[in-house]
């Protein structure tokens, strides 16, 4: 073995980050949240919801007040809290009223819940490939997939910035489709002057741990549309079963469940919302230092921000651009982990790789909902998604900067680890 390779911790050398060194986990929960949670506990009312029509159908005081704060902060007509963003996605797809067998175009690079929300209503997720630079749905790949079964485009603002929402909006307008967004990872980022997630028909956010702000579990839907807001509130609270006295006209087929947020989470959410901007600024600080420190490494592409947009860096995606590096991605990853880099993932979720899509089986054993399609025509084969598959299988190293606080020293050590590995990368 070449002697300079032996310097790498992977081959027995001293790690760039000493074994006893520890990265502090990010924590935005402080005294404000403690006081807020205790206020609710002292009141004795841990949930203010009632599942029959009336004032409390929309939740208790903390939930309503939290939603008001959110409407103001995001400049939207309606913010609708839910007990997770997975629940939020379910309410979103229910609200647009699809028929079983209808299609929704969605990104394969997302957390599984984005696509299962479609399946839960009997819809069929139709994946379109992602963009080279920003990893969101590629509008040019969306167009050819539209047919008379298509009802919506559900875009994912992945890793911390908006999709190409103007282009997607144009496509939706041309074909009378709903434009929906999963902005779990890009909360508080901007597309032009607007907050990401607020300029589609329905958008929304996760309040799960590791997202920019959190309430334990939770999520928030946003919309400016009266009818969609009402439907999502119905689905959140047992749907048509509970509103016979409401006087609402067409609520047939509006089944729902219990996707309601508790008062404690809402009270914590109010405090967390006030910390959103500082959480974003802090991650931008980390990303800026990483970009400065890593920009001279050969053969890689660091995160780029879409023109006229802002990036809030849920993660820090690094793409191996140089052909010579593709087959080395996994050993480079191993080498970096051995140097002591924490929270570095290989690739992202590529939903087409999941057994559910490979086999086209979700409900029961007979392939529902795909069995509703002629000849199971939707294409989930890997070669239909060259960018998503190549990046996932060979080219992406994703530093999950949501996990740690990243002091200046932490960042310097991460940069030193990358430099050390890149010094000998040709020999690996």
Chain contacts with ligand PLP (rule: CB under 6 A): 84-86, 110-111, 113-114, 156, 182, 184-185, 206, 208, 219
Residue 114 Cβ vs ligand PLP, minimum distance, rounded to whole Å: 5
Q: Assign 80 to helix, strand or coil.
A: strand
Q: Assign 170 to helix, strand or coil.
A: helix
Measure the N-to-C terminal CA separation of the chain; round to a whole number of Å: 10
Nearest residue (CB) to ligand PLP, 187 versus 294: 187
Residue 84 Cβ vs ligand PLP, minimum distance, rounded to whole Å: 4
Residue 135 Cβ vs ligand PLP, minimum distance, rounded to whole Å: 11
Distance CA 370, CA 94 (A): 18
Residue 176 Cβ vs ligand PLP, minimum distance, rounded to whole Å: 26
Nearest residue (CB) to ligand PLP, 221 versus 344: 221
Q: Cα–Cα–Cα angle for 273, 277, 282, nearest 5°?
A: 125
Nearest residue (CB) to ligand PLP, 84 versus 237: 84
Nearest residue (CB) to ligand PLP, 208 versus 242: 208
Nearest residue (CB) to ligand PLP, 22 versus 112: 112
Residue 159 Cβ vs ligand PLP, minimum distance, rounded to whole Å: 9
Q: Tokens for 290?
A: 């990483």
The answer to whether 191 touches 231, Cβ cutoff 8 Å, is no
Residue 182 Cβ vs ligand PLP, minimum distance, rounded to whole Å: 5
Nearest residue (CB) to ligand PLP, 210 versus 409: 210
Please, what's the b/e burial string for 19-57 (b: 16 or more CB within 10 A of its CB; e: otherwise)?
Answer: eeeebeebebbeebbeebbeebeeeeeebbbeeeeeebb
Residue 210 Cβ vs ligand PLP, minimum distance, rounded to whole Å: 8
Spatial neighbors of 278 by CB under 8 A, at least 6 apart, are none
Q: Assign 142 to helix, strand or coil.
A: helix
Q: How far is CA 210 from the centre of its chain?
A: 11
Distance CA 18, CA 268 (A): 37
Distance CA 53, CA 102 (A): 31
Residue 184 Cβ vs ligand PLP, minimum distance, rounded to whole Å: 3
Please, what's the b/e burial string for 66-104 (b: 16 or more CB within 10 A of its CB; e: otherwise)?
Answer: bbebbbeebebebbbbbbbbbbbbbbbbbbbbbeebbbb
Nearest residue (CB) to ligand PLP, 48 versus 204: 204
Nearest residue (CB) to ligand PLP, 215 versus 417: 215
């Amino acid at each position: 073995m070449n002697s300079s390779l032996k310097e790498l911790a992977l081959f027995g050398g001293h790690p760039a980050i000493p074994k006893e060194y520890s990265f502090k986990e990010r924590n935005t929960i402080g005294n404000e949240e403690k006081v807020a949670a205790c206020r609710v506990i002292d009141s004795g009312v841990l949930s203010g919801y009632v599942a029959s029509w009336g004032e409390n159908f929309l939740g208790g005081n903390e939930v309503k007040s939290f939603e008001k704060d959110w409407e103001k902060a995001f400049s939207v007509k309606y913010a609708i809290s839910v007990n997770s963003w997975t629940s939020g996605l379910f309410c979103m797809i229910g609200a647009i009223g699809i028929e079983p067998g209808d299609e929704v175009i969605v990104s394969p690079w997302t957390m599984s819940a984005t696509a299962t929300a479609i399946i839960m209503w009997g819809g069929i997720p139709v994946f379109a490939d992602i963009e080279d630079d920003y990893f969101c749905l590629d509008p040019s790949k969306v167009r050819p997939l539209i047919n008379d079964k298509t009802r919506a485009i559900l875009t994912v603002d992945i890793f911390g910035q908006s999709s190409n929402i103007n282009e997607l909006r144009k496509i939706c307008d041309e074909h009378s489709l709903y434009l929906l967004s999963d902005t779990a990872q890009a909360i508080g980022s901007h597309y032009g002057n607007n907050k990401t997630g607020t300029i589609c028909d329905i958008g929304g956010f996760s309040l799960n741990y590791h997202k920019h702000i959190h309430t334990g579990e939770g999520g928030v839907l946003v919309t400016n549309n009266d009818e969609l807001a009402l439907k999502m509130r119905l689905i959140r609270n047992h749907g048509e079963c509970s509103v016979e006295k409401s006087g609402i006209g067409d609520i047939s087929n509006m089944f729902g469940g219990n996707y309601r947020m508790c008062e404690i989470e809402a009270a914590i959410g109010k405090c967390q919302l006030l910390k959103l901007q500082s959480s974003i600024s802090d991650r931008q600080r980390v990303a800026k230092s990483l970009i400065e420190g890593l920009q001279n490494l050969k053969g890689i592409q660091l995160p780029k921000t879409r023109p006229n947009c802002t990036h809030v860096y849920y993660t820090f995606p690094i793409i191996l651009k140089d052909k010579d590096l593709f087959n080395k991605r996994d050993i480079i990853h191993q080498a970096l982990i051995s140097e002591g880099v924490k929270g570095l993932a290989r690739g992202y979720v590529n939903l087409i790789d999941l057994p559910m899509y490979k086999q086209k089986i979700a409900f029961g054993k007979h392939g529902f909902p795909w069995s509703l399609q002629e000849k199971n025509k939707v294409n989930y084969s890997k070669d239909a998604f060259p960018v998503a598959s190549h990046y996932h299988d060979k080219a992406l190293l994703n530093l999950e900067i949501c996990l740690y606080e990243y002091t200046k020293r932490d960042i310097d050590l991460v940069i030193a680890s990358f430099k050390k590995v890149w010094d000998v990368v040709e020999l690996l």
